[in-house]
Chain A
Amino acid sequence: MSPTVASPPHRLRMRTWAWLVVLTAGWSPLEAKLKIVTTTTDLASIAQEITQDLADVTAIAKGFQDPHFVDPKPSFLVQLQRADMFVMVGMDLERAWAFDLLTNSRNAKIQPAGPGHVDASVGIARLQVPTAADRTMGDIHAFGNPHYWLDPANGAIIAGNITAGLQRIDPANASTYQKNLDAFTAKLEDAVARWTRQAAPLVGLPVVVYHDSWPYFVQRFGLDVVAFVEPKPGIPPSGRYIAELSETMKTRHIGVLVMTSFYDDKTAQLISRQSGAKEVTLAQSVGGVPAALDYFSLFDNNLALLLDAAGK
């Protein structure tokens, strides 16, 4: 009788199509910017330096999070499904959660064999590679200590690996990436020279460290790590161990206790009270403390805190 009788199913079909278009737009190749997902914020900061405004970079772990223990939330799968490139620290740091996410991302580009997969540890001079290891030693890393980004000189190697990955997946902009890499490396070289000068008073400074995540940093700036609060990596200290450690710190006049923001602060405070040492909470990653905004301010801030605690 009237055309409106027929129109509802028609309109319904239209709406279905409209929805399908909206939904499928999610993976359409029309978007210009590359999507890069990194496991940690340090990698994200460096990747942003190399890509500038050519890519959107997001990190899975927050800077104040322990990167060994990240929940493989379903929303990360969604991010990885749409990523053009995936950058990881490697050396087993993310082993507990990253590979399962990768497998289920259904994204061929970023699988370990794919062009968009970057293991930033390639070419790093590894420390503490065990010749023999078993788990009675606690939570050890078979490929060496993975906290290599805490030596700023390694930042250049990380940037090199990321650049190589970018040039594979986006050859059109290869020269731009190379230019950005050169600029970053130059800036980093200046900064490392400046930090080394600033840190001169720290050479030989005896410190106690909570968890053994600082060997690369310590090697670069010459601190003397006398003991760890954790008797073995990942094993919390007992009362007796705390008492003995506090005594040792008093007798050997160790005035600085290096803490990482995500570990048990109560124990550190107790040792600090017992031994009279000053507790310094350093950022292990960009965003670990509010002042560590990027890869450069991470070191600016950590060194300033250490110099302050050492009274120098």
Chain B
Amino acid sequence: MFEWFQFSFMVQALVACVAMGLVLSYLGIHVVGRGIVFVDLALGQISSMGVAFAAYSGRDPVLWSMAFTVVGAVIFSGLRVTDSRLRLEALIGIFYAASSALTVLLIAKTPHGDADVQDVLFGSVLAISPADLRRMLVVFAVVAVLNIVLGKRFFALTYRSGSGSLSNRGAYLTNLVFYLLLAMAIVFAISAGGVIPVFAYLIIPPVAAAFLTRGTGMALVLTLVVSVLGSFLGLHLSYSADLPAGASIVAVLGALTLVAVGVAALKPAIARLRRGAGAALLLVALAVIPARAGAQQDVEHLTTELDQLKEIVSQATARIAALEAEVERLRAAQETPAPTALAAPVAVAPAASRGGLRLIDISLDGLFAGGASSAREPELRALEAGGHDPKNRGFTVQNVELALAGAVDPYLRGDAFLVFQIDDQGESAVELEEAYLTTLSLPAGLQVKAGTFFSSFGRLNSQHPHSWDFADQPIVSSRLMGPDGLRGPGAQLNWLLPTPFFAEASVAVQNSRGPIAQSFLSVPGEDFAGRELFERDVRSFDDLLSIGRFSSSFEPSDSFTIVTGASHVAGPNATGPDSRTKITGLDFYGKWRPLSNQRGWPFFAIQTEIMQRDFEAAEQQLGDGSRLAREHLTDWGAYAQATWGFRPRWVAGLRGDWVGGDGDASGDPVRDRRFRLSPNLTFYPSEFSKFRLQYNLDRPDHLDRTISSLFFQFEFLYGAHGGHKF
């Protein structure tokens, strides 16, 4: 049964895992106790910045990654948060983002810098060499001994129990030593095990132990037991079920936590603790929420919805199969018998067979989410305002998209996207998301797009939900572009400028009506900022939307690309006969990806957009006789996100959202000030599927409390789907 002990590399991996498990889970008790779980990712990133710096300046990478990490640990140990609106976690997140960005900049200036950073960050437990293992064990031994010697002081700091016995200066020094030990353990563990297993070892065992016991001593013992059990069973699972080692260990640790939750659920006394730590694990949340909702009705409802969806999918599948068979038949008919070996070169007429026959590309993409939130459902729907955001406790059908694309004739190409959804009331909905033609052969770098399409404003507005890096859209997009994005019937002219670098200008005219132009004519009868929206005719060109965008791209190095853009849209709004809305936005995208990558990994990307809306609200007489004067309402918002493909198939992301409006908007869920922080982690089994876990920490003014939400998103894509724009 345990024949894997015969292989020395498996035994080495076990030794490495058990050592990592013991040391990291012990440190994890402090990390979880202090609420600084992202310190692990931040220190890992800082150590890679050290490697990048070493590569850039030709110095020793191990020494400099240690030096950088030590400095990072000193800074973290000194961080104090006195402003109640902030959290230490948010500051650590900023360090993570900043050091990631600096790493990218350093690498952009270093030939072959990519490889060094990968060596440090993307360890594989199975491939650890005996020399690396010895080095790691020595460092861990030092960390362990110092933890035993200083254990009492560390616990005093973490639980603030006997803090009276420590002077301020003593407390500072103890804290510093703790962070230094943590830094050393993380640097060496990551180089052997990779980021995710290290993160799991650090966080999962202490959380599992917390479910089982409230005693400090007992928690310590259980933490160590869970970590060792996780290592052993994880490697065994990896070997016997033929699975990747790191992921298996994380899965087993997760399963052990589920067992712990089950045990805890039997003891009602621990219920309170469960609620507190519930947000830490999706599995836990998904297990708890349906139980709470507990409505048999909902399940039945969902079943019928799924049946309907299955019906739609099976119809689409049949159609795809029929067309593929047709393509296959035509191709077989056209295939020329091929010459053998070194045949005489063949001259080919322009119309002859060209590889694949591309009549129409058909694909179906299904995007779903399961969610849990501390907000009640009506509140959650206001917070997750995007049309494709996960809006329910339980499951949401975010977007089932049927895409049809292909060349129409030598001059035109056609694209159409039909979206199926099941809304929050359980009703099926179909929408025509986009259908447009694109010219292929205009001269002078010109291109016309006409039909109904997403407006070319910023980066995210024209992207479809399944290509977003997060489970929901940024708040500023929901507010200014509208829940379903800014789109509609119209025409657009794009010009690729004859500059040596990429520069494109586009102008477009589109209709200004409906929920798909919410900041403009929108839907008559609804209201905005206390004013009613009227029916308004199109009398002139000014009653349509005019949209302009300019974007350009630069490549500081072969592996580093930047795209920047500026957009503007102006059009009528329905609060009065002549009132107008203007929105201006700036966007930036930077991506690092080494040319010699493995199926697209690793990469690091930063994306940010900032927008401002000037809404001219016309004078209105209200029903009670009072009058609202004409005024300009200004709303602004921004989001900034970093995504890091740290090892093949895995992407970690962090996004910050800030929005607000002027005047007295604090009670208005679509205009209030709001801050949101969203870390997430995505696993891509292949290019055609993904699983994503996302946490939202949300502080909206109108609710006056902090909301935690957890989403688990999954996607599948099949058929021939076009590549995405850079």
Interface string of B697-725 (1 = CB under 8 A from A): 00000000000000000000010001111
Given contacts A100-B723, A123-B336, contact A238 B498 (CB under 8 A): no
Contact of A112 with B595 in the complex, beta carbons under 8 Å: no
Beta-carbon contacts under 8 Å, A194-248 to B: 234, 236, 238-243
* Chain B residues closer than 8 Å to A25, beta-carbon distance: 498
Q: Is A124 an interface residue (CB 8 A)?
A: yes
Contact of B356 with A153 in the complex, beta carbons under 8 Å: no
Contact of A90 with B339 in the complex, beta carbons under 8 Å: no
Q: Is A164 an interface residue (CB 8 A)?
A: yes
**What are the 7 A-B residue pairs with the smallest beta carbon separation, nearest first?**
A160-B345, A108-B441, A90-B355, A26-B498, A74-B502, A74-B553, A125-B338
Interface string of A143-186 (1 = CB under 8 A from B): 10000000001001101110110011000000000000100010
Contact of B345 with A163 in the complex, beta carbons under 8 Å: yes
Beta-carbon contacts under 8 Å, B225-253 to A: 235, 238-240, 242-245
Q: Which residue of A lies closest to B240 (CB)?
A: A240
Given contacts A100-B724, A185-B345, contact A241 B242 (CB under 8 A): yes
Contact of A78 with B599 in the complex, beta carbons under 8 Å: no
Q: Which residue of A lies closest to B124 (CB)?
A: A266
Beta-carbon contacts under 8 Å, A47-106 to B: 62, 64-66, 68-69, 71-75, 77-78, 81, 90-92, 95-97, 99-100, 103-104, 106
Interface size on B, residues (CB 8 A): 81
Beta-carbon contacts under 8 Å, B577-630 to A: 591, 593, 595-600
Interface string of B378-407 (1 = CB under 8 A from A): 000000000000000000000000000001
Contact of B354 with A161 in the complex, beta carbons under 8 Å: no
Given contacts A26-B499, A62-B558, contact A181 B440 (CB under 8 A): no
* Chain B residues closer than 8 Å to A115, beta-carbon distance: 350
Given contacts A27-B498, A78-B501, contact A119 B598 (CB under 8 A): no
Interface string of B651-692 (1 = CB under 8 A from A): 000000000000000000000000000000000001110000
Question: What are 16 sample pairs from A and B whose C-beta atoms fall under 8 A apart?
Answer: A62-B558, A65-B596, A66-B597, A72-B723, A78-B499, A97-B723, A99-B723, A106-B447, A106-B494, A113-B410, A124-B338, A159-B345, A164-B346, A192-B342, A269-B127, A270-B127
The B interface, classified by DSSP as helix, strand, loop or mixed, is: loop
Q: Which residue of B lies closest to A111 (CB)?
A: B440
Given contacts A26-B500, A72-B725, contact A143 B342 (CB under 8 A): no
Q: Is B74 an interface residue (CB 8 A)?
A: no
Of the 9-residue stretches A10-18, A30-38, A256-264, A292-300, which lies at the interface with chain B? A256-264
Contact of B686 with A123 in the complex, beta carbons under 8 Å: no
Q: Which residue of B lies closest to A142 (CB)?
A: B356
Given contacts A62-B595, A139-B686, A185-B345, contact A103 B440 (CB under 8 A): yes
Q: Which of A68, A124, A159, A238 contacts B242 (CB 8 A)?
A: A238
* Chain B residues closer than 8 Å to A24, beta-carbon distance: 498
Q: Which of A68, A156, A243 contacts B4 (CB 8 A)?
A: A243
Q: Which of A73, A167, A234 contacts B599 (CB 8 A)?
A: A234
* Chain A residues closer than 8 Å to B242, beta-carbon distance: 238, 240-241
Task: Tell me the smallest distance from the CB of B448 to a CB of chain A, in Å.
Answer: 10
Interface size bracket, A side = 35 or more
Q: Is B126 an interface residue (CB 8 A)?
A: yes
Q: Is A5 an interface residue (CB 8 A)?
A: no
How far, in whole Å, are A104 and B722 apart by their CA atoms in the complex? 13
Contact of B441 with A111 in the complex, beta carbons under 8 Å: yes
How far, in whole Å, are A220 and B638 apart by their CA atoms in the complex? 58
Task: Tell me the smallest distance from the CB of A12 to a CB of chain B, in Å.
Answer: 21
Given contacts A157-B343, A263-B598, A267-B127, contact A243 B10 (CB under 8 A): yes
Task: Tell me the smallest distance from the CB of A249 to a CB of chain B, in Å.
Answer: 14
Given contacts A74-B563, A236-B648, contact A112 B345 (CB under 8 A): no
Q: Which residue of B lies closest to A160 (CB)?
A: B345
Q: Apart from A104-B725, A274-B9, what are 12 other A-B pairs with CB-CB below 8 Å?
A: A99-B723, A106-B441, A106-B494, A119-B354, A123-B339, A123-B346, A138-B686, A160-B346, A168-B350, A239-B10, A240-B240, A243-B4
Contact of A106 with B496 in the complex, beta carbons under 8 Å: yes
How far, in whole Å, are A70 and B593 apart by their CA atoms in the complex? 10
How far, in whole Å, are A90 and B356 apart by their CA atoms in the complex? 8
Q: Which residue of A lies closest to B721 (CB)?
A: A96
Q: Which residue of B lies closest to A153 (CB)?
A: B342
Contact of A64 with B339 in the complex, beta carbons under 8 Å: no
Beta-carbon contacts under 8 Å, B315-371 to A: 331, 336, 338-348, 350, 352-356, 358
Contact of A73 with B496 in the complex, beta carbons under 8 Å: no
Contact of A143 with B553 in the complex, beta carbons under 8 Å: no
Contact of B354 with A112 in the complex, beta carbons under 8 Å: yes
Q: Is A39 an interface residue (CB 8 A)?
A: no
* Chain B residues closer than 8 Å to A242, beta-carbon distance: 126
How far, in whole Å, are A12 and B441 apart by their CA atoms in the complex? 35
Q: Is A122 an interface residue (CB 8 A)?
A: yes
Q: Which residue of A lies closest to B125 (CB)?
A: A239
Interface string of A267-278 (1 = CB under 8 A from B): 101100110000
* Chain A residues closer than 8 Å to B77, beta-carbon distance: none
Contact of B596 with A64 in the complex, beta carbons under 8 Å: yes
How far, in whole Å, are A22 and B340 apart by their CA atoms in the complex? 51
How far, in whole Å, are A50 and B597 apart by their CA atoms in the complex? 31
Task: Tell me the smallest distance from the CB of A146 to a CB of chain B, in Å.
Answer: 9
* Chain A residues closer than 8 Å to B213, beta-carbon distance: none
Q: Is A135 an interface residue (CB 8 A)?
A: yes
Task: Tell me the smallest distance from the CB of B513 to a CB of chain A, in Å.
Answer: 29
Contact of A78 with B345 in the complex, beta carbons under 8 Å: no
Contact of B239 with A239 in the complex, beta carbons under 8 Å: yes
Given contacts A161-B346, A234-B686, A274-B9, contact A106 B446 (CB under 8 A): yes
Contact of A90 with B354 in the complex, beta carbons under 8 Å: yes
* Chain A residues closer than 8 Å to B124, beta-carbon distance: 266-267
Q: Which residue of A lies closest to B411 (CB)?
A: A108
